[in-house]
Amino acid sequence: MIKIQNFSFGYNRKKMLYENLSMSLEAGSIYGLLGKNGAGKSTLLCNMMGLLFPVSGKIEVVQHNPQKRQPSFLQNVYFIPEEVAFPSISNHTYLELYAPFYPKFNEHQFYEYLKEFEVPNDQKLNKMSFGQQKKAIIAFGLACNTQVFIMDEPTNGLDIPSKSQFRKLVAAALTEERLFIISTHQVRDLDNLIDQIIIIDESEVLLKASIMSINEKLCFKTVAELDENVLYAEDSLKGKTVVAVNVMVEDSRINIEHLFNAVIANPKRIKDIFKKQLITKPLQTIQKMNNTFNFRRFGLLLRKTIYEKGLVLGGTFILVTVLIVLSYSSTSQNRVSSLPQSMGFVIGLFSVTAWVNILLNNFSKKSVAASYLTLPCSHIEKWLSVFVITVFMYLPLFLVVFKVIDTLFLNHYRELAISKFHYSTKQLETDLPYLTYNFIEKDNLNRMPFGFFLPPFFGLGGVAVVGSLYFNQKSYIKTALVFLGLAFALSLGSDMLFRAIIGEESSTSILSFTKAVITTENTRFFTVNASESIQQIVKYFMMIFIPMALWLIGLVRFSDKEL
Amino acid sequence: MDFRGKQAIYLQIGEYIFEQILLKQYPMGEKIPSIRDLAVALEVNPNTVQRTYDFLQQKEIIQIKRGIGYFVSNDAEDKILLFRREQFIETELPNVFRNLHLLKINFEDLKAQYQQYIQENFNTKI
């Protein structure tokens, strides 16, 4: 069910964590992945889940390449990271929003498990204690009935009765078609639950064997004197507790802690005793179905996103409205221009970056990122959900609100001018044109056939998408710096180009790529415009190509994003 | 259940089932818990219980009826006694003999003591 071939992985290329690892895990077992802290347990699990990508080699999980994170793969595997992060919703809402993504989800089981674990039903999930959250996510994961169920340190944070409940639930959930992997360094919690043991240390699999074969090949006993069969010994009250080669064919109880120490102490001998099984079966072809776009899944994703982030998005929008109003309130100081209007409009356009960042802030925390990346949706669906929410929700909302504010303010000022200062309507038009100049109006839009706000809107949104996806927490500052650098380089470049062509005296105005201002000794300055066609090209480049490219980079980034 | 013994877990589960049969908790000829149920109750891996049941089947203490479940054999008690006797003679008796020899205990004295013990505790004469 899980096949790993010549797998290599390292966080940087010089220091590899795993090299040339091969193993295969079969359904119907509970695998215990044991290793010291930092041995690479979580890394291996993340690679199986497609949250990290192997440097070389192949991993195949339920006949899929995890790296592609296809929905048909994701809905058949469930991963519980060590730290869990929940949105601010109740059990019931969580089920409503997330369960539909998993075709084999069983609602009855979910509530049954929650009851067993004594997880309260009336509390918001993110307000619960760490242990309660962990139990809730375990209950949910078990109820998903996925073929592969991976848990990273599941018993961390569980109290004593919950650990017992956990063992009961996992024992009950194991079927011949399912595969469980539990990583832990607290072996006592899971002693009798696991039936296959994988021990990793120093980036190597030192042991991968079933309890049965360990029973056959090793024995665990207390002896008075050590002999050459002993692999590991520990002093105890009655003599020496040892792990020894099972020459007498004794049936002894496995002490996993002692086994672990024995394996770490004698990796070579252990390897000889448990000769590695080689994978002979060829990798199966990966099935492809319904993995690009599915309307129902997309709808579920939109619903989930809006439900979880709606409040923050709404709050941010209200703040933006306040900013626009504030900008208008400075009208009294700016009698001669429509500056407050433009400022308000620009604030509104810019604020799309805030929305995009909220929609994609999943990557600032590993646990949230893991849950977002393993949500059974295709990359296109996740990307499109951001696009749709910004373009079809933010933009109309902003335009409507802006129009309302604009109309209200202008009407108010016009009335003031007429009633207090006795302007006639005609005088208004000539003396105070800005009061009759509605910002979003037909002629205004007609004058700029492009829809002058759309390209910057998409551009800003795209910048935020790329920023959020590439730079995690520090997105804003880093992206800002990168783009500032780019823009600066461009304008500097065009400036230098003009200087090279025309001579030292010329200079271009910043960020104008089609116009040069030339200063000579005779005339103070005159401007030179590039030809119409070049102006058109630059315009299309800036207004269409760049925003589109940014969004497309975002889409590509979705597919190669690692944890 | 707390698995303290030195034996492999699947054998300890076997012992647990022997106890249940001898205490008539699992009456002869009747159905015993399914693998899954017992695994959940004991918090162990179902595959371990499977191994116990295979082992008990091999010793003819339980029988499988396809599609229904596992049942206690009609002569389970005899089989258990037989198995335990074997086990006792194989694993525990050597230790007893070793101690008798080390502590220089007379075998004949022991016989009288044994009979007295049986009389006091079980009220039967041998």
Interface with A, mutate which of B36, B45, B49 (most A CBs under 10 A): B45
Rounded to the nearest angstrom, the minimum Cα separation between B35 and chain A is 10
Helix axes A395-421, A339-350, angle to 10 degrees: 160
| Contact criterion met (CB < 8 Å) for B8 and A251 | yes
Mapping DSSP to helix (H, G, I), strand (E, B) and coil, where does residue A209 land? strand
Whole-Å CA distances, A165 to A31, A84, A148, A156, B119: 18, 19, 20, 14, 46
Question: Can you tell me the distance from the alpha carbon of A340 to that of A362, in angstroms, rounded to the nearest whole number?
Answer: 35
Q: How crowded is residue A406: how many other Cβ atoms within 10 Å of its Cβ?
A: 21
How many whole angstroms separate alpha carbon A35 and alpha carbon A360?
34
Indicate the residue of A164, A195, A221 with minimum beta-carbon distance to B45: A195
A195 interfaces chain B, CB cutoff of 8 Å: yes
Contact flag A171-B12 (C-beta cutoff 8 Å): no
Taking the CA atoms of A497, A502, A507 and A513 in sequence, report the sign of the dihedral they define: negative
**Rounded to the nearest 5 degrees, what angle is found at the Cα of A347, between the Cα atoms of A388 and A327?**
140
Best of A195, A217, A256 to disrupt the B interface (most B CBs within 10 Å) is A195
Taking the C-alpha atoms of residue B36 and residue B95, their distance in angstroms, rounded to an integer, is 37
A60: left (phi over 0), alpha (psi -120 to 50) or beta: beta
Structure tokens at A251: 């049936």
- Bridge pairing between strands A196-201 and A230-236: unpaired
Closest CA to B18 of B81, B68, B63, B71: B81
Which chain A residues are closer than 8 Å to B44 by Cβ?
167, 171, 192-193
Q: How far is CA A60 from CA A101, A145, A282, A286, B90, in A?
A: 22, 19, 11, 9, 48
Task: Tell me the C-alpha distance between A319 and A218, whole Å.
Answer: 67
Would the ipTM clear 0.85, i.e. be above it?
A: no
Strands A148-152 and A29-35: unpaired
Mean pLDDT of chain A: 82
Tell whether A172 is within 8 A of chain B (Cβ).
Answer: yes
Contacts of B5 in chain A (CB under 8 A): 253
**Per-residue model confidence (pLDDT) at position A512:** 59
On whether the CB atoms of residues A32 and A85 are closer than 8 A, the answer is no
DSSP characters over A340-399: HHHHHHHHHHHTHHHHHHHHTGGGGSHHHHHHHHTSS--HHHHHHHHHHIIIIIIHHHHH
Contact between A211 and B3 using a beta-carbon 8 Å cutoff:
no
Query: Which tokens hold the place of A222?
Result: 């207390």
Q: Between B8, B42, B46, which is nearest A174 by CB?
A: B46
CA A133 – CA A89 distance, rounded (Å): 12
List the domains of chain A with CATH numbers: 2-202 (3.40.50.300), 292-358+374-447 (no CATH), 450-563 (no CATH)
CA distance A64 to A86: 28
Spatial CB neighbours of A528, under 8 Å, sequence gap ≥ 6: A502, A515, A516, A518
Q: Which residue is closest to A194 within chain B, CA to CA?
A: B45
Residues of A in contact with B36 (CB under 8 A): 171-172
Residue numbers of chain B with a pLDDT score lower than 70: 1-2, 124-126
SS3 A152: strand
Give B-chain residues touching A168 at CB under 8 angstroms. 40-41, 43
> Among B36, B21, B122, B40, which Cα is nearest to B81's?
B21
What's the 3-state SS for B97-112? HHHHHHCCCCHHHHHH
Kindly determine whether residue A195 and residue B5, on different chains, have CB atoms separated by under 8 Å: no
Q: CB A252 to CB B6 under 8 A?
A: yes
* A46-95 confidence digits (pLDDT tens): 999 999 999 989 999 998 899 999 999 999 999 999 888 888 899 899 99
Q: Does B5 touch chain A (CB under 8 A)?
A: yes
Which residues 77-96 in chain B show a CB within 8 A of chain A?
none
- For the beta sheet containing A18-25, the strands, ordered from the edge strand earlier in sequence to the opposite edge, are A18-25, A2-9, A56-61
Q: How far is B37 from chain A (nearest CA, A)?
A: 7
pLDDT by 10s per residue, chain A, length 563: 899 988 888 887 777 888 888 888 988 899 999 988 888 889 999 999 999 999 989 999 998 899 999 999 999 999 999 888 888 899 899 999 999 999 999 999 999 999 988 898 888 988 888 889 999 999 999 999 999 999 999 988 888 888 888 999 999 899 888 999 999 888 877 888 888 999 988 778 888 888 888 888 888 888 888 888 888 888 887 778 888 888 877 888 888 888 888 888 888 888 888 875 544 444 444 444 577 888 899 999 999 999 999 999 999 999 999 998 888 877 665 455 567 777 888 888 889 999 998 998 878 788 888 989 999 999 999 999 999 999 899 988 998 898 888 888 878 877 877 887 777 777 777 766 666 655 655 555 444 444 567 788 888 899 888 888 887 655 567 667 877 888 788 777 777 776 776 665 555 554 456 666 666 666 666 677 777 888 788 878 888 888 899 999 899 888 888 87
Interface of B with A in 37-66 (CB under 8 A): 39-48, 51
Distance CA A513, CA A542 (A): 10
* Closest residue to B3, CB basis, from A168, A192, A220: A192
Predicted pLDDT at A448: 46
CB-nearest partner of B9 from A168, A174, A253:
A253
Amino acid at B99: N
Q: Which residues of B touch A254 (CB under 8 A)?
A: 8-9
Which residue's structure tokens are 């090209």? A537
CA angle B58, B84, B55 (to 5 degrees): 20
Residue pair B55/B9 in contact (Cβ under 8 Å)? The answer is no
Interface size between A and B, measured as CB pairs under 8 A: 61
Distance CA A375, CA A305 (A): 12
Q: Inspect the interface and report whether the beta carbons of A171 and B45 lie closer than 8 Å.
A: yes
- How buried is A318 (Cβ within 10 angstroms: 0-12 exposed, 13-18 middle, 19+ buried)? exposed
* CATH architecture of the domain covering B9-75: Orthogonal Bundle (1.10)
The pLDDT score that the predictor gives to residue A443 is 53
CA B125 to chain A, closest CA, distance in angstroms equals 37
The bridge status of strand A148-152 relative to strand A179-184 is: parallel
Q: CB-based contact (8 Å) between A30 and chain B? A: yes
Contact A251 B47 (CB under 8 A): no
